[in-house]
Amino acid sequence: MGSTTTSRLQRRAHGCGGDGGGAEPPVDIDVSVDVKDLGSGRTGPRSAASLPWGLGGELTVDRRTAALADAEDPLGHLRAAFSLPEEVIYLDGNSLGALQPAVAERLRSVIDGEWGRGLIRSWNDAGWVELPRRVATRLAPLLGASTSELAVTDSTSANLFKALAAARQLRPDRRVLLTDDANFPTDVYVAHGLAELTGDLEVRVVPTYEVADHLDEQVAAMTLTHVDYRTGRRHDAASLTAAAHDVGALAVWDLSHSVGALDVALDAWGADLAVGCTYKYCNGGPGSPGFLYVASRWHDRATSPVRGWFGHARPFAFDLGYQPAEGAERFLDGSPPILSMAALETALEVFEGVDVAALEARAAELTGLFIQLVDERIGPEVEIVTPRAPTERGAHVSIRHEEADALTQALITRGVIGDHRPPDLVRFGFAPLYTTRVEVVDAVEQLADLLASGAWDHDDFRRQRTVT
């Protein structure tokens, strides 16, 4: 018998009985495992967290080995920063990130102390006026950018309008905004809105696999979402950016489904402009501020179409003449939303000292594990539409089922929270800061049971909901 590694975990058992007696006490679980049983091809001690989970190895996965790997994971301690209901397996961080108790405490402090007692003095005394720059400083390492290249402000949609308007201004002799048919709808709406406003732009929507073929000298800007919100497919941002530059076009990226989960490298990619949200993998909270990136080479030329006072070089001089601030801060506009900005600043603290490449590796492992288990335990009853190559996907996996909405709602009643995208996709997000391997195993077991039993096939699960 090979060497054995032992770890003891506590999990809370969740009974399904109808006596309403509440949760059972913690159960001590022995997750001892012989490394020869893990398909490692060797004996002797080996970290379970270092094994090829979901990445093409022959590892046999069960709940026990998953628990051992979780216990040894070098990023496992990050989970403790989050407040997640014990009865829930939360696989929807790709839509809304989880709450950190530190964020709730920060909001209480801002509301009761800085606003309640400090009142307007807190613009100076609590540093409210510097919040956009402080948050940009925390966000910059997650984007492979510098603080001066970021403006934390507004929503993704508003920032994209500003970015595309700036791109048009930088390429005044070109008339095409190129995007793909996998882009998030708001991005396409914004492009059309700018085209209608200017009256001299064409929005060209092409098949997602043919973007490079449609780049030509008419294109002012290529605007794409890095990770497809439906399928999780990831564009090769560096290659497409280079292809755009080869014809003199600018590259504008939406990173909403990337930042905080993938190793984004805007400067290294050569990106010109980028936008994104912070309420998904950055966990800033519902409606938290978006961001806008402007490459430093454009700082002397790019201007914002929305010239607000916080984008002025000296906002409190109250000059009627507009003088843009340095760097990307000229893309700020009105007064910053202090409550959501403060929440985001605290939410980003969890990333301090964390290698974003390690986060991407963990996301690849978790998504790969989910794909592997669905293949093994469910098979052809559902179709995995997410790419199987780790470098070609983001941090969520989508499966196709003809009754995807009902299946999603049935999973939610069992405590597995994903979401539905019409017409037939169920999405599962694997936030690398807090999703565990055990949760992946348990979620697939619930999915397999629902499909095998047909328990999802109920009218209650087909009731239309406003938000999917």
Residues marked as catalytic: 184, 254, 279-280, 427
b/e per residue, 235-266, with b = 16+ CB within 10 A? bebeebbebbeeeebbbbbbbbbbbbbbbbbb
SS3 content of the chain, % helix, strand, coil (to 5): 45, 15, 40
- Edge-to-edge strands, sheet with 250-254: 150-152, 291-294, 273-276, 250-254, 219-225, 176-180, 202-206
Residue 182's nearest CA partner among 356, 394, 364 is 394
b/e per residue, 388-410, with b = 16+ CB within 10 A? eebeebbbbbbbebebbbbbbbb
The DSSP code for 432 is T
Cα–Cα distance measured from residue 284 to residue 262, given in angstroms and rounded to the nearest whole number:
17
CB 301: neighbour CB atoms within 10 A? 10
Please give the helix or strand (H or E) that residue 30 lies within, else none: strand 26-30
Contacts of 334 (CB under 8 A, 6+ apart): 308, 309, 310
Cα–Cα distance measured from residue 355 to residue 141, given in angstroms and rounded to the nearest whole number:
9
Cα–Cα distance measured from residue 155 to residue 165, given in angstroms and rounded to the nearest whole number:
16
For residue 169, report the phi and psi dihedrals to the nearest 5 degrees: -65, -35
CB 362: neighbour CB atoms within 10 A? 25
Cα–Cα distance measured from residue 460 to residue 409, given in angstroms and rounded to the nearest whole number:
9
Cα–Cα distance measured from residue 143 to residue 152, given in angstroms and rounded to the nearest whole number:
13
* Helix/strand/coil for 361: helix
Cα–Cα distance measured from residue 400 to residue 416, given in angstroms and rounded to the nearest whole number:
17
Cα–Cα distance measured from residue 263 to residue 273, given in angstroms and rounded to the nearest whole number:
17
